Amino acid sequence: MTQIDSKIPQGPLAEKWKNYKDHQKLVNPANKRRLDVIVVGTGLAGASAAASLAEMGFNVLNFCIQDSPRRAHSIAAQGGINAAKNYQNDGDSVYRLFYDTIKGGDYRAREANVYRLAEVSNNIIDQCVAQGVPFAREYGGLLDNRSFGGAQVSRTFYARGQTGQQLLLGAYSALSRQIGLNKVKMYTRHEMLDVVKVDGRARGIIARNLITGKIERFSAHAVVVATGGYVNTFFLSTNAMASNGSAAWQCYKKGAYFANPCMVQIHPTCVPVHGDYQSKLTLMSESLRNDGRIWVPKKLEDAKALQAGTKKGKDIPEADRDYYLERRYPAFGNLVPRDVASRAAKERCDAGFGVNNTGLAVFLDFSDAINRLGKEVVKQKYGNLFDMYEEITDDDPYETPMMIYPALHYSMGGLWVDYELMTSIPGLFAIGEANFSDHGANRLGASALMQGLADGYFVLPYTIQNYLSDQIQVPRFSTDLPEFAEAEKALQARIEKLMSIKGKESVDSIHKKLGHIMWEHIGMARDAKGLEEAIQMLKDLKKEFWTNVRIPGQSNDQNIELEKALRLADFIEIGTLMAHDALDRAESCGGHFRTEHQTEEGEALRHDDKFMYVSCWEYQGEDKDPVMLKEPLNYEFVVPQTRNYKK
Amino acid sequence: MDKDINITLKVWRQKGPKEKGQFETYQLQNINQGTSFLEMLDILNEQLINEGKEPVVFDHDCREGICGMCSLYVNGHPHGPATGATTCQLYMRRFHDGETITIEPWRSAGFPVIRDLMVDRYAYDKIIQAGGFVSVNTGGVPDANATAIPKADADLAMDAAACIGCGACAAACKNGSAMLFVSAKVSQLALLPQGKIEAARRAKAMVAKMDELGFGNCTNTRACEMECPKNISVSNIARLNREFISAKLKD
Amino acid sequence: MWLLNSSIGKKLIMSVSGLFLVLFLLFHLSMNVAAAFSGEAYNMICSLLGANWYAVAATLVLAAGVVIHFLYAVILTLQNRKARGNDRYAINARPKGVEWASQNMLVLGIIIILFMVLHFSQFWYKMMFAELMGNHMVTLCDGTTTVSPQDGAAFINYYFQGNILNTVLYLVWYAALWFHLTHGFWSAIQTIGWNNTIWMNRWICISKIVATVICAVFAIITIVFYLNGVGGGLVACPGL
């Protein structure tokens, strides 16, 4: 059996990254010019990596599917970014941030990676401020912090409710500078659909020009995938419409391991689903939980009245309200981590206490905050979120409590990478949400931005040199090599096959079916029977897709339905792999909850003796079951404990 | 309460940048008013696909008002009749039963139509590439709290930085001017000490690029400000003018 | 040269020339106020602004101001139309908060210029220009009245006193000017960059006050002339 080498450097935890940097191989400036790097994606990770690599002197080719690199979905992150600055003098430190992240991830992440993340978190804030990111400040002119989802210190930096946007625009401006200097060649509206290997190493990609429909080849000495997560498998999620897992999935099909695919995060505070026509779910910032109190009625008859619309939230007297998070988790209350909050909401709704017409919503109530702080203060803090909520639901949150429900939000799983962020294909790197590395089984709030930028600004630009240092003698590749021709031909054949189906169902209608299977069987609560059923259902759905999808238009032209069909074909397979992984992992941890494995109180029950590993799935060929390899997680520095948010 | 309504859509259809476009009329039945405007277009496209026709092409992505991708000119307004909202944040309860809704692409020489309602806004990226940044490389920067910045300045910079680059300003402007977009970026960086250092150079480079790309001249009608989904103020344009004129006078 | 090449430079030319013309309007206004009080005083100013080198120089500068302002209006408008693109919107709705005047400055400007032609043919051509040509007496439109080009008061009386058509035409002119100024004044300030969020509404307010003062005083004086002719003393202007 293949041994998985995660290349963790030797030495004490706090010195590993330093040791690595002290001893890694570098590429001298004159040679950097001779090396090409492809970066796919322009989110926080992709844009920051492309900019940093170009600043160092590499030739960078950067790709995105949107019309501009500024639109990547990192932009939608609202709440903030963590860093261990301890500016608030509340006892924060690199170790504490590391520890919280490891614990928050339910002890399924690598210690060394997470420690490095916590270490470089401080550099990120410095870098962003130098770029002109307008973080919130105190009257004294210094940076403001807030506490965020599950943290006991105030370490979250923020820019109103638009932190992701501001950080992305910072990275985008650095990237734009390099594009202006001709150091980065930017390809917008291009979608990566395959990775090309030459002699076992990643040497290029095949991309489809979304405007002309032309298939184009690009070669480089290394390929970096920063294409985000795959939770749009569920159809309804907080991800952008075009967010997809295809680039990562094609890497998997070319031999890169896919790690922990079942680990997806369900965010507790989203606007509930309100109809079949719904195309996506809107996140309401987690910061709302700082002042809002979550409740459902205590009495079932009140819940029934709410569902029937005969009562409103404010009609339920205080004594009849069940603030279930405060009840179950007195120490953290409404601020428990996302997975805990989401599951608790589901538990209440499954028990019949849901508060909207579908019975799938709980209240997030600001009346206490309004009484305590005054409407003006609440308006200042959350006004834009309240306005957004009112526009969507036609309900005024100042008057009636908001309704929220969990929704798919983030994928902790992704392409397996070693300490250098390289996948199991030499020369193929994965950064940001596209890799699996730092969040374990659950991601803490305000950590995604941190990880994306850590990978892009401060980790990959170093580690990629260790790989590229022996590539300086390798001349530029021609895209006429047979490997490129072959990959293009295969893609062309796949596209023609899709176009020739001429079936009866639109891509979206099949995607909705996929979403339904995912949500029911591979969603917030999973069990072996359901997962086995799901694998069969997905097999059928795959067949249905490949025999009955209808794609109008031409393949060699702009074709929005073909774009979606190519993504959906991969989503169905990703969903299947998620089911396999969820079935294998017979324990509950973080975002992965197996109903067979819970404590008497309904909390997640980990089995550290059996599942202290990263599951690394290896592709075996079309319609063959994938094979799982294990990367053991050796906790040298932290003793895994049961997460307890009760006290 | 949200009702189901019937509507008539007049949608601009255009095969390519060089081809002639025209309006097509479509009927939609029983659209719930709780549907978002873009979901309504999804329903239209589903209907078209089921009829074997090609769906309407339009830009959209995050559908929560932040990515700046959506760009529809609805009933005479960029992003439609709501204020301070993008097209994707528009809901059908803004429309009534039997209403005819006209949907056009952004129309500005700087934003050529790609297909139907999708336009090419890369010109905005080119303007940023000309100078919309602080020239710092990764690493080697001072501690984030080394320079204190007055809260008022940071807040003003944030107001300007809220721009999502959607292009509604140029689309709303009868002069096809990109001044609001350019001024928002120039202002954000000019207000912060980090960006102040190359403020003059930035203002000159970005205005030169904007002019070169054929955007029009600002005549202060304020249509951009009124239609901006992020309520960017035209006082930024005054600041840009100030920065630009004083930079040129110093030369 | 950035003033001529850049969009902001060209706008600055519009702005400065426009503000210069506003200053001239204020000067002209003060002359008219003088006329309303005393025909003699007015004539004194008229003779002062006759064929003197400084008056001629000032006139040339003024003319240059008008020409530049108009020329750049045309240049900018043509550029702006091009920037707008060939396809026009099928539906145009003026957003709330956008002043009508701001979108119709060129049209308002052309109206103002057309009236200027009338005004010049009535006054300037027969006064300053005639004097420059060395004419010591000019004949007015009716073909019989002859006056000295320095006797401005006589011109005013001739054109306005009891002349309803001319008076109304002038009032229409002031209306166009009012609209033009309400936008033009603050827009000029904005273009120079002397504006921010706090001053925005103040400048717009000041702009309206400037426009209203200029146009209202012109209008009142015109009506006074229509009713009473130029003033011979305080009694001549009951309206003020």
Tens of pLDDT along C157-166? 889 988 999 9
Split at pLDDT 50, 70, 90, the class of C236 is very low
Q: Which region among A317-326, A494-503, B86-95, C154-163 has the lowest average model confidence (pLDDT)? A: C154-163
Chain B residue with minimal CA distance to C196?
A: B235
Q: Does A338 participate in catalysis according to the annotation?
A: yes
pLDDT digits (tens, 9 = 90+) for A11-54: 999 999 999 999 999 999 999 999 999 999 999 999 999 999 99
Average pLDDT, chain A: 95
What is the least distance, in Å, from the CA of B189 to any CA of chain A?
Answer: 6
Q: In this complex, do A177 and B129 lie within 8 Å of one another by their Cβ atoms? A: yes
Split at pLDDT 50, 70, 90, the class of C139 is confident
C116 has a pLDDT exceeding 60: yes
| 3-class secondary-structure state, position A381 | helix
Task: Give chains near B: 3+ CB pairs under 8 A.
Answer: A, C
pLDDT digits (tens, 9 = 90+) for B98-153: 999 999 999 999 999 999 999 999 999 999 999 999 999 999 999 999 999 999 99
> What secondary structure does DSSP assign to B150-180, as a single string?
-HHHHHHHHHHHT-----HHHHH-TT---HH
- Interface with chain C: mutation pick from B204, B220, B242, highest number of C CBs within 10 Å: B220
A434 has a pLDDT exceeding 70: yes
Q: In this complex, do C195 and B238 lie within 8 Å of one another by their Cβ atoms? A: yes
Q: What is the mean pLDDT of residues C96-109?
A: 94
Distance of CA A465 to the CA centre of its chain: 26
A165 has a pLDDT exceeding 60: yes
- pLDDT at residue C153 in the model: 86
Task: Tell me which residue in B39, B66, B129 faces A180 most closely, judged by beta carbons.
Answer: B129
- pLDDT at residue A260 in the model: 98
Q: What is the mean pLDDT of residues C75-96?
A: 93
Query: Which DSSP category does A300 fall into?
Result: H
Query: How many other β-carbons are positioned within 10 Å of the β-carbon of residue A347?
Result: 15
Query: Which DSSP category does A143 fall into?
Result: B
Token readout for A101 is 């992240």
C103 has a pLDDT exceeding 90: yes
Helix spans in A73-162 (H): 94-104, 111-131
- pLDDT at residue C127 in the model: 85
Q: In this complex, do C187 and B220 lie within 8 Å of one another by their Cβ atoms? A: yes
Judge whether B50 is closer than 8 Å to chain A, CB to CB.
Answer: yes
**Bigger pLDDT: A166 vs C49:** A166
C144 has a pLDDT exceeding 80: no
What is the least distance, in Å, from the CA of B171 to any CA of chain C?
Answer: 8
Judge whether B32 is closer than 8 Å to chain A, CB to CB.
Answer: yes
B17: chain A residues, CB-CB within 8 Å: none
Judge whether C54 is closer than 8 Å to chain B, CB to CB.
Answer: no
Token readout for C223 is 């009506």
Q: What share of chain B is helix, strand, coil (3-state, %, to 5)?
A: 40, 15, 45
B30: chain A residues, CB-CB within 8 Å: none
Choose the catalytic residue: A338, A343, A526, A567.
A338
Token readout for C62 is 């003024």
Split at pLDDT 50, 70, 90, the class of A396 is very high
Judge whether B216 is closer than 8 Å to chain C, CB to CB.
Answer: yes
What is the least distance, in Å, from the CA of A138 to any CA of chain B?
Answer: 6
Q: What percentage of chain B exceeds 70 in pLDDT?
A: 100
Q: Are strands A428-430 and A222-225 parallel, antiparallel or unpaired?
A: parallel
Distance CA A514, CA A533 (A): 13
| Residue A219, H or E segment | strand A215-219
> Do A and B touch (≥3 CB pairs < 8 Å)?
yes
Q: In this complex, do B214 and C2 lie within 8 Å of one another by their Cβ atoms? A: no
B60: chain A residues, CB-CB within 8 Å: 241
Split at pLDDT 50, 70, 90, the class of A230 is very high
C37 has a pLDDT exceeding 90: no
- pLDDT at residue A1 in the model: 56
- Residue A71's identity, in one-letter code, is R
What is the least distance, in Å, from the CA of C138 to any CA of chain B?
Answer: 43
Token readout for A635 is 């906790």
Token readout for A79 is 């709440």
Split at pLDDT 50, 70, 90, the class of C232 is low
> Do B and C touch (≥3 CB pairs < 8 Å)?
yes
Q: In this complex, do A165 and B52 lie within 8 Å of one another by their Cβ atoms? A: no
Query: How many other β-carbons are positioned within 10 Å of the β-carbon of residue B16?
Result: 15
Task: Tell me which residue in C91, C191, C193 faces B76 most closely, judged by beta carbons.
Answer: C91
A623 has a pLDDT exceeding 90: no
Query: How many other β-carbons are positioned within 10 Å of the β-carbon of residue A420?
Result: 19
Judge whether B158 is closer than 8 Å to chain C, CB to CB.
Answer: no
A325 has a pLDDT exceeding 90: yes
Low-confidence stretches of chain B (pLDDT beneath 50): none
Helix spans in chain C (H): 2-5, 7-37, 39-48, 53-84, 105-119, 130-132, 152-160, 164-192, 197-228
Q: What percentage of chain C exceeds 70 in pLDDT?
A: 95
| Residue A390, H or E segment | helix A375-393
Distance of CA A563 to the CA centre of its chain: 21
Query: Which DSSP category does A13 fall into?
Result: G
Chain B residue with minimal CA distance to C190?
A: B238
Split at pLDDT 50, 70, 90, the class of A150 is low
Token readout for B188 is 């954000």
Token readout for A301 is 């008859």
B77: chain C residues, CB-CB within 8 Å: 93, 95
- pLDDT at residue B26 in the model: 98
Q: In this complex, do B157 and A134 lie within 8 Å of one another by their Cβ atoms? A: yes
- pLDDT at residue A78 in the model: 87
What is the least distance, in Å, from the CA of B14 to any CA of chain A?
Answer: 13
C45 has a pLDDT exceeding 90: no
State the pTM of this model: 0.95
Q: In this complex, do B243 and C82 lie within 8 Å of one another by their Cβ atoms? A: no
Token readout for B32 is 């719930």
Distance CA B101, CA B93 (A): 13
Chain C residue with minimal CA distance to B14?
A: C87
Task: Residue B64: name the closest of A237, A307, A54, A429 by CA.
Answer: A237
Task: Give chains near A: 3+ CB pairs under 8 A.
Answer: B
C-alpha distances in angstroms, C129 versus A486, C43, C55, C134, C138?
86, 16, 11, 9, 11
Pairs across A and B, CB distance < 8 A: 216
- pLDDT at residue C235 in the model: 35
- Residue A252's identity, in one-letter code, is Y
Pairs across B and C, CB distance < 8 A: 146
A52: chain B residues, CB-CB within 8 Å: 137-138
Judge whether A126 is closer than 8 Å to chain B, CB to CB.
Answer: yes
Distance CA A91, CA C104 (A): 62
Q: In this complex, do A137 and B154 lie within 8 Å of one another by their Cβ atoms? A: yes
Task: Give chains near C: 3+ CB pairs under 8 A.
Answer: B
- Asked whether A39 and A64 are in contact (CB, 8 A), the reply is no
What is the least distance, in Å, from the CA of A75 to any CA of chain B?
Answer: 6
What does the CA dihedral A382, A384, A387, A389 come to, rounded to 10 degrees? -70
Q: Which of residues 123-162 of C touch B (CB under 8 A)?
A: none
- pLDDT at residue C240 in the model: 31
Burial class, C63, CB count within 10 angstroms (exposed 0-12 / middle 13-18 / buried 19+):
exposed
- Asked whether B221 and B179 are in contact (CB, 8 A), the reply is no
What is the least distance, in Å, from the CA of C240 to any CA of chain B?
Answer: 36
